[in-house]
Structure 1
Amino acid sequence: MFRRRPPLPPFPPGGVLVGGAARDWLRGVAAKDFDWMVPDPAGAAHLLAGALGGSAFELDAARGYWRVSAAGGVQHDLVPRPADVEEDLQRRDFTVNALGVLPGGRVLDVVGGQADLRARRLRMVSRGNLRADPLRAWRAARFELTLGFRLEDGTEAAVREVASDLAAGRLPVPAWERVRDEVHALLRSMDAARGVGRLEELGLLALTVPELREGQGVVQGGFHHLDVFAHGVEALHQLIGRFPDAPVPLRWAALLHDVGKPRTLMRDELTGRTSFHGHDRVGAAITAQVLTRLKLPGEDVRHASALVGAHMVPLPATEREARRFVHRRRALLTDLLAVMLADREAARGPLSSEASRRAYARGIERVLAALEEQPSAPPPLLRGEEIMALLGVPPGPRVGEATRALAEATALGEVGTPGEACAFLLAWAAAN
């Protein structure tokens, strides 16, 4: 059932290979992250570093944890070997992770993990273990998706129970950084859209991104055939299908691009038609709140939020408009086009047609052609001091406005020399 097993790395003295690396080795999958239990982590780390040509450093002095970084991004973590290895394995989350490998390939299996591996079954070691660290509920969804295993019925019921108890405050919510890491591991999957649906089925999405669930049952009509929630999930699916290397912030932007619609819903009493005016602006703010709560880096929060805020910008109908589009959104451009394309391809409602999709594609082509023609912003024709002297204004907002106006005129090809720039600014100042 599984592929031929890859060679094992050299074992540190007294070492037991545990965790995901042991599981993956039994599945015939080459690992890059190895977890070891060893009697002497410091000594074993230096020996392993020498054998692999890597570097050893201490991770946690109080607990005696060490790490070895080797070529090709391979990493070995070493922790003190407990007095009873089998007892330690029985405290793990799932049976497929409660396996140990000894030198020569002998396997320690105290909870039936190998049988579950063969059956592609994800089964908890115990209900108590799952509840001892509620993050394991998110990990169950992630493993089910990324390993291609099926949650065993009793384990699924226990995961749902953990989600319910978390929502009710009967269990402590894990640190957001830990939740984020599990969700991001799921989002990086090619099947991330199904993973989002699985989080919803298990009761975990309400604990992670409740704002996304507000779109359930919010019918859109027009270009859309799905409600707001399902459309966001489908947009994520469309994005990954076209851009499989899309980074996580871009995936968040696709998933959340319409998250502002439920809070901006307006219904015309006479026609019954719905509208969502300003949902891009509201959605950008919600996206920032969601990703800040999940402890994403500030730059990623700002980027994803800006993409959501800009996804409704009309595509250009002319070459000149395309140059302006590129100039005004250069920092977002390729990711913004990806989100806009995913949004359009996820909409197959009655107003959507092959002709409308072709027109949309032509707009994107105009932008890409303008970007190819001008891959970077033209250098400024005048310095700030020159602009102030020309217009006779002191430092302040007026100088910034003039600088931006001149930069856009330069990008559009309306001015190309310092003399033309001066004439443009004098005319601009007179009109503004």
Structure 2
Amino acid sequence: MSHRPKLPAFPPGALLVGGAARDLLRGQLPSDYDWAAPNPAQAARWTADTGGAAFPLDEQRGHWRAVIGGVQHDFVPLPTDLTAELLRRDFTVNALAMDQAGHVTDPSGGLSDLKRRSLRMVSEHNLRDDPLRLLRAARLTITLDFRLEERTRLAVQRLAAEALAHHWPLPAAERTAAELNALLLSKRAASGVLLLHELNLLALSLPELSEGAGVVQGGFHHLDVLHHNIEALHQLLARFPDADLALRWATLLHDVGKPRTRGVNPDTGRNTYYGHAELGAQLADEMLTRLRQPRALTERVSALVKAHMVHLPTTEREASRFVHRRRALLPDLLGLMLADREASRGPQSTPQTRLAYQLGFECLLSALEERPTAPPPLLSGRQIMALLKVPPGPVVGEVLRAVNEAAALGDVCTPAEAEAFVLVQRDRLTSNECASQQVDSQA
């Protein structure tokens, strides 16, 4: 264990319990603190006196919270039987309590497990008591960089399979999401998802993703769909370790639509996955909505998954158009596409194809560097309506998008040039309308 950091100020008679005690004993400052105190309300107010706020969480049960400088301190009543209370916890390294003097109450051997960097259950009964603890086993193994003790591994595996087979009531979606998010935000996120799969927890928490296990792809891919998704996450974090949560989720889920769109080309015999990006975007939206993830994150993940199959440009003009049309997703979309490519090492992946991909990326990065922000609009929707003499409607939006794209490509540079461009669009629209009327009259 590392050198122990300085102990925080203890409220009178309070004990530091659980993960906070564990982290201090590991030489880490806790991100938040859990306390057991003789008088939780008094202890919370005492803690908040240093410049924070104290308030009840559950007055009937005596649960209070104090927040100081963004750090959370939660207080519960000191149990009559501390040992019995600690033995009801999930893992031995969390079944610890520490007093002001640094004395540790350790009824299950958690200190020895800390030294061995081993995550061991207090009992199988405790894991069964709260199915979220199964997910927590994987999350703590990864985020603490511990080894999952063998009996605990087998118990989690067995209980997860039982939960799946017998449709156990699952934990609240928000609690499940918090565990998955914490795992995905770790530097070992890809190993964490593999561990979820090995422990039968992926099918329990993200069943659509687990459908890719055993779905062999061929072509550019040397892994099945599930392991390709996980490898893409690994490749992403190897290059972009600071990738945000939305990009991590999008990379993990980018091919989640493949198992349900799998087909075979009758001429070549090769597997096809037509529409997998669109279906994947829909599935990603459903999965993250089910997990009660923030709507902004869900929409960004879905948009990235939907766009990940777009073709890379081969010319400067195509690169400028790509940047204009997908600016809102950049540079994250490029990170996802690069990770996807680097996770593919099948027989069709050759030095030549990798070089072509590299050149396309360089072309895009150059266009993005040349125009880091979108040019200001040359015309407003109102001006376009006046020029075309049309009321508000889809045509105005269509022409406005065309004007903005022409400006991004450098085809128009001034309001006068934009107006001339709109008049050309008017002639095209009028010509299309006349042609449509002529077809109708002949029908």
Distance 2:161 2:141 in 1: 20
Cα distance per residue 1:373-398 (max 9 Å; x no partner): 22222222122221111101111111
Q: Which residue identity is paired with 2:64? A: W
- Do the aligned partners of 1:162 and 1:171 also contact (CA within 8 Å) in 2? no
**Alignment equivalent of 1:56, drawn from 45, 54, 57:** 54
1:186-265 correspondence to structure 2 within 5 Å = 186-265=183-262
- For residue 170 of structure 1, report the CA deviation from its aligned partner: 5.9
1:206-355 correspondence to structure 2 within 5 Å = 206-355=203-352
Partner of 1:83: 80
1:5-44 correspondence to structure 2 within 5 Å = 5-44=4-43
- For residue 45 of structure 1, report the CA deviation from its aligned partner: 1.7
2:144 corresponds to 1:147: yes
SS of equivalent to 2:57: strand
Distance 1:320 1:245 in 2: 31
Distance 1:149 1:113 in 2: 13
1:155 and 1:287, CA in 2 relative to 1: closer, same or farther beyond 3 A? Answer: same
2:373 corresponds to 1:376: yes
Cα distance per residue 1:54-95 (max 9 Å; x no partner): 333333333332222233x43222222222222211111111
TM-score relative to the length of structure 2 = 0.93
SS of equivalent to 1:329: helix
1:383 and 1:217, CA in 2 relative to 1: closer, same or farther beyond 3 A? Answer: same
SS of equivalent to 1:11: coil
- For residue 244 of structure 1, report the CA deviation from its aligned partner: 0.9
Partner of 2:441: none
Distance 1:89 1:95 in 2: 9
- Do the aligned partners of 1:116 and 1:122 also contact (CA within 8 Å) in 2? yes
Distance 2:326 2:265 in 1: 33
Distance 2:394 2:60 in 1: 54
SS of equivalent to 2:156: helix
SS of equivalent to 1:331: helix
SS of equivalent to 1:59: strand
SS of equivalent to 1:104: coil
1:170 and 1:270, CA in 2 relative to 1: closer, same or farther beyond 3 A? Answer: closer
- For residue 108 of structure 1, report the CA deviation from its aligned partner: 0.5
Partner of 2:67: 69
- Structure 1 stretch displaced more, 57-66 or 176-185: 57-66
Cα distance per residue 1:409-432 (max 9 Å; x no partner): 111111111111110001012123
Q: Which residue identity is paired with 1:46? A: R
Distance 1:430 1:64 in 2: 75
Cα distance per residue 1:113-166 (max 9 Å; x no partner): 111112222111112111111110111111111112222222222212221221
Distance 1:358 1:312 in 2: 18
- For residue 369 of structure 1, report the CA deviation from its aligned partner: 2.0
Distance 1:319 1:25 in 2: 55
SS of equivalent to 2:49: helix
**Alignment equivalent of 1:404, drawn from 396, 401, 405:** 401
Distance 2:15 2:156 in 1: 29
The aligned length equals: 429
- Structure 1 stretch displaced more, 100-109 or 241-250: 241-250
Q: Identity percentage over the alignment? A: 59
2:104 corresponds to 1:107: yes
2:399 corresponds to 1:389: no
Partner of 1:168: 165
Gapped runs of 5+ residues in structure 1?
Answer: none
Q: CA RMSD in A?
A: 1.5
- For residue 27 of structure 1, report the CA deviation from its aligned partner: 1.5
**Alignment equivalent of 1:126, drawn from 123, 127, 130:** 123
